[in-house]
Amino acid sequence: MAKHARTQKRKRRGLLLGVLALVVVAIAGLSVLLRDDEKKPVTVADLVVTDLEVGTGDAAKAGDTLAVHYVGTLLDGGTEFDSNQDPDEPLTFVLGDGRVIAGWEQGLVGVQAGGTRQLDIPAELAYGDQGSGTIIKPGDSLRFVIEVVSITPPEPTPCPEADGSSTPQTSFDQAPPMCIDVTKTYTATVVTNMGEFTIALDPAKAPLTVNNFVVLSRYHFFDGLTCHRVTFNHVAQCGDPNGDGSGGPGYEFDDELPVAGEYKIGSVAMANSGVNTNGSQWFVVTGTDGVALPPDYSLFGQVTDGLDTTIVAIAALADPTGASQAPTTPVIIESITISET
């Protein structure tokens, strides 16, 4: 149900516009792929997922491109409002990019190529109280029967040039491959409008996290971003392309957690929104409250130069009353340069 440049032959205007401001929730693990002898409904938060035919191959996940045929009907009464049965031009879309309704985003996770899945979608995961077109009324629940023609995983992200000459990239389809040599020493020089500081990265302790930081830095992902959160006696948090704590690079990767008591002033660790949700946001511990954090954040480096100057200057921009977590003066990352020896 992605937006098409061309007009479909059959009633496509309502379904493919995607005009609702629905939040597409995190979808990993929400649907259950059934064996051939277990083709019975699975309810997922009022979404009913039924595998009419189980396919083969890898299960669909966020970032995959799906090609599908489908028929959409009103759950109440069965009136058909949309379909795509064109054998030469199935509907294609990227799962998880927000261009299809939430019921599809949730309900197609785990489906396999060649499978046929029925989705009974409540209104709040479809078009809510706005409706769509002339057939889908406010509050209507929908049924889709979806035949999955193919599932194509995203192309892997190539490793950036070590000399920093790669073209800047601001979003990615998936986590990068391992581009660093964990036997080498990596150092990041961070230039901000408040001065410079240097981070000694620790690939032996956190290879995935250091690799991620190095790759993003060499793709100039951080250039121009802010340290949007500076909290008193706590941390300075940076690396969000949205500038409000909600953004990331387009993927998530697993934790590499320290033991309790390892954080200290100048520790550099990943911010997250839960287990294994690391992306691009990271923070520097600036005070004793940060030192006392539970070991829930991947620790991957230590500020070695600029701790008593630049980091102190950034930490001084925290609102001591706690009324705001934004720094009193914007902190902007001008560049991050990675060296390796």
Q: What is the CATH number of the domain that holds 86?
A: 3.10.50.40
Query: Cα separations (Å) of 194 from 70, 137, 286, 306, 307?
Result: 55, 54, 15, 11, 12
pLDDT at res. 154:
85
pLDDT at 336: 98
The pTM for the full model equals 0.66
Judge if 85 and 192 occupy the same domain: no
Token digits for 35? 């064996």
What pLDDT does residue 34 have? 33
* 33 and 148 fall within a common domain: yes
Domain contains 100: yes
Q: Tally the domains of the chain.
A: 2
Q: What is the pLDDT of residue 278?
A: 97
180 vs 340: CA distance, rounded Å:
9
Instruction: Tell me, yes or no, whether 201 and 252 share the same domain.
Output: yes
Q: Is residue 173 part of a domain?
A: no
Q: Is residue 169 part of a domain?
A: no
> Measured between alpha carbons, how far is 151 from 98 in angstroms, rounded to an integer?
17
Query: Residue 7, class by beta-carbon neighbours within 10 Å (0-12 exposed, 13-18 middle, 19+ buried)?
Result: exposed
Position 253 scores a pLDDT of: 95
If asked whether residues 302 and 222 sit together in one domain, one would say: yes
Between CA 68 and CA 241 the distance in angstroms is: 32
Residue 168 within a domain: no
Residues 93 and 145 occupy one common structural domain: yes
Per-residue pLDDT at 15: 38
Confidence (pLDDT) at 45: 56
Asked whether residue 146 is domain-assigned, the answer is yes
CATH number, domain of 236, equals 2.40.100.10
Instruction: Please report the pLDDT score of residue 44 as a whole number.
Output: 52
In a domain, 171, yes or no: no
Write out the residue range of the structural domain in which residue 282 sits: 186-340
Mean pLDDT, contiguous 10-residue spans, the chain (341 residues): 36 36 34 38 74 96 93 96 94 92 96 97 95 95 98 90 95 91 97 98 97 98 98 97 94 96 98 96 98 98 98 97 94 98 94
Residue 166: inside a domain, yes or no?
A: no
